[in-house]
Chains A and B, each alone.
Chain A
Amino acid sequence: MIEVRNLTKFFGDKKAVDNVSFAVQKGEILGFLGPNGAGKSTSMRMITGFIPPSSGTALIGGHDIGEEPIAARQKIGYLPENAPVYPDMTVFGYLDFCAEIRGFSGADRKKKVEAVIEKCFLRDVKFQTVSTLSKGFKQRVCFAQSIIHDPEYLILDEPTDGLDPNQKHEVRLMIRNMSAEKAIVLSTHILDEVDAVCTRAIIIADGKIVADDTPSGLKTRSALHGAVSLTLEQTDPERFLSCIRSVEGVKDTKILEHADDRLNARIFPKSPDILIADHVMSALSANGLKIKSLFVEQGRLDEVFRTVTSPAGKTQSA
């Protein structure tokens, strides 16, 4: 378990991280979200022991990162932001160095390096110098470094940054496949990623935790949650609105788009718990309005993200 206790960091007078506490169990993938400059990287750097916290601490599998740094670091795999790798080394040379420093030797070390090269699809660039690699490859080399010793805890700072959609997919798949026996913390500002891989998400803004929930739990905070979006075949908006007004539980209706051949609208219930889709459907068909498509909104993470981070933060992150 990774246990973060009241982690706080001052840079001069500025509070970069403010009393952050959370715990991650094995099997969990925790998404660390926040606008740029919210304190994501600073928190991760303190958890991995790269910078000392101003107060608070992190326990890695029971080892305090401040008091038993070596024992704690042995259990961590860390992918720093921007994936720094020595540019003058070959991929193999670098991973061999990482394995050596992780305490592997002889045939065992060679096996570990080969295995991780396979796993991260680095075979083609095995003997290439890192400085000649593209951003995506560098990212994967650094990722390989973080998993070479099969650590119990993985801290990944923007693991899919700079990767193309296919590589992103591969990396996410790898992370998910590893998650059963590891506790993983990953930071990202790609909200789809949270949906795709994380079992839990923490949103921080201005150094403080502003939300800590499952991705679907977060989505229920969205104003859109429970709303019904539908497309009708060409129709008169007035007729549609009067029909909807009579439906029980409807609070508001918004026409999003009205063209000659279709009408897009979103219907909001009085409260997210009221299921209005059935009522809407029967009311519309009773009135002879043809439905092209209809679905119930789950809520959108980007919207939740903006609402929870905007009052405090000035930066609107993508």
Chain B
Amino acid sequence: MNTKTFFNNIKAIFKREIAGYFGSPVAYVFIAIFLLLIGFFTFNISKFFEAGQADLRAFFEWHPWIYLFLIPAVAMRLWAEERRMGTIELILTFPVTVTEAILGKFLAAWAFIGAALFLTFPMIFTVLYLGDPDMGAIFCGYVGSFLMAGAFLSVGSMTSSLTRSQVVSFIVAVVICLFFILAGFPPVTDVLSGWAPRWLVNIVSSLSFLSHFVSLQRGVIDLRDLIYFFSVICFMLFANSMVIQNRRT
């Protein structure tokens, strides 16, 4: 594979997708709702001010739950819409590999979510104004949040390729993401521990987004957490490419 055309193709698809986001109300609605929800949960539910702590734990702890619904909503159109409109027939008959098409679309959506996440920067100024926060922990929290968003997105991208219905894609993605969030917690482990061997319970609980995200928030970038999120993304995107290559129409 020629590296130059590889990146050119990804770039072309990336640019088209980004233009698509910002050319339609989807982007602005998404960003507005994301910021509103984050603000509401942080200040009204977690009582950010009343807690009297100069850190962003109250802010980050809501990210998985907001991503749970918003990211499948962003991802659902990635492939389902191409299939519904028939444009998938063009993109897959262009001199572009499935990998390039998937990466271009995924990276565009990820960058878009990254932009929304970036717009939460006033939170940083708030804690800086209020006290003397641990900037390392905040930085790591953002890195973790962004990686977790990528993992959610890869699940959504995969489910989007399964169907031409965006609603089906959304629901399946939410369920899978919910499993990933809860994997290390009683709702899932209780179901398993009754019958599954100990090692399986351990594997499943180590799949939890939450525990890896929480460990990044502590301010330590642990290679294991990075590898974890990247391997979830790679696995899901690989499954995505398998689905697309083996689709029937």
Are the CB atoms of A45 and B9 closer together than 8 Å? no
Residue A102 at the chain B interface, CB threshold 8 Å: yes
- A79 smallest CB distance to B (angstroms): 9
In the bound complex, what is the Cα–Cα distance between A70 and B90 (angstroms)? Answer: 13
Are the CB atoms of A73 and B94 closer together than 8 Å? yes
Stretch at the interface among A87-95, A181-189, A190-198, A227-235: A87-95
> Which of B13, B89, B96, B248 has the most chain A CB atoms inside 10 A of its CB?
B89
Point out the residues of chain A lying under 8 angstroms from B16, CB to CB: 86, 89, 97
Q: A101-B12, A103-B5 are in contact. Are A85 and B93 (CB under 8 A)?
A: no
Of the residues A51, A70, A98, contact of B97 by C-beta under 8 Å:
A70
Of the residues A45, A76, A85, A86, contact of B20 by C-beta under 8 Å:
A86
1/0 per residue, CB under 8 A from A, across B10-47: the answer is 00110110011001100000000000000000000000
Residue A62 at the chain B interface, CB threshold 8 Å: no
Are the CB atoms of B95 and A93 closer together than 8 Å? no
Residue of A nearest to B92 (CB): A50
Residue B131 at the chain A interface, CB threshold 8 Å: no
Q: A11-B248, A101-B13 are in contact. Are A82 and B86 (CB under 8 A)?
A: yes
Residue A139 at the chain B interface, CB threshold 8 Å: no
1/0 per residue, CB under 8 A from A, across B77-94: the answer is 000000001110110111
Residue A100 at the chain B interface, CB threshold 8 Å: yes
In the bound complex, what is the Cα–Cα distance between A50 and B20 (angstroms)? Answer: 24
> Which of B19, B24, B85, B93 has the most chain A CB atoms inside 10 A of its CB?
B93
- Counting contact residues on chain A (CB < 8 A from B), the size range is 20 to 34
Are the CB atoms of B95 and A80 closer together than 8 Å? no
Residue A84 at the chain B interface, CB threshold 8 Å: yes
In the bound complex, what is the Cα–Cα distance between A73 and B92 (angstroms)? Answer: 9
Point out the residues of chain B lying under 8 angstroms from A271, CB to CB: none
Residue A145 at the chain B interface, CB threshold 8 Å: yes
Q: A11-B248, A89-B20, A101-B12 are in contact. Are A84 and B86 (CB under 8 A)?
A: yes
Residue B8 at the chain A interface, CB threshold 8 Å: yes
16 further A-B contacts with Cβ under 8 Å, apart from A11-B248, A100-B8, A101-B96, are A50-B89, A73-B94, A76-B93, A78-B93, A85-B87, A87-B85, A88-B24, A89-B20, A93-B19, A97-B12, A100-B12, A100-B15, A101-B13, A103-B5, A103-B95, A142-B90
Q: Which residues of B contact A (CB under 8 A)?
A: 5, 8-9, 12-13, 15-16, 19-20, 23-24, 85-87, 89-90, 92-97, 248-249
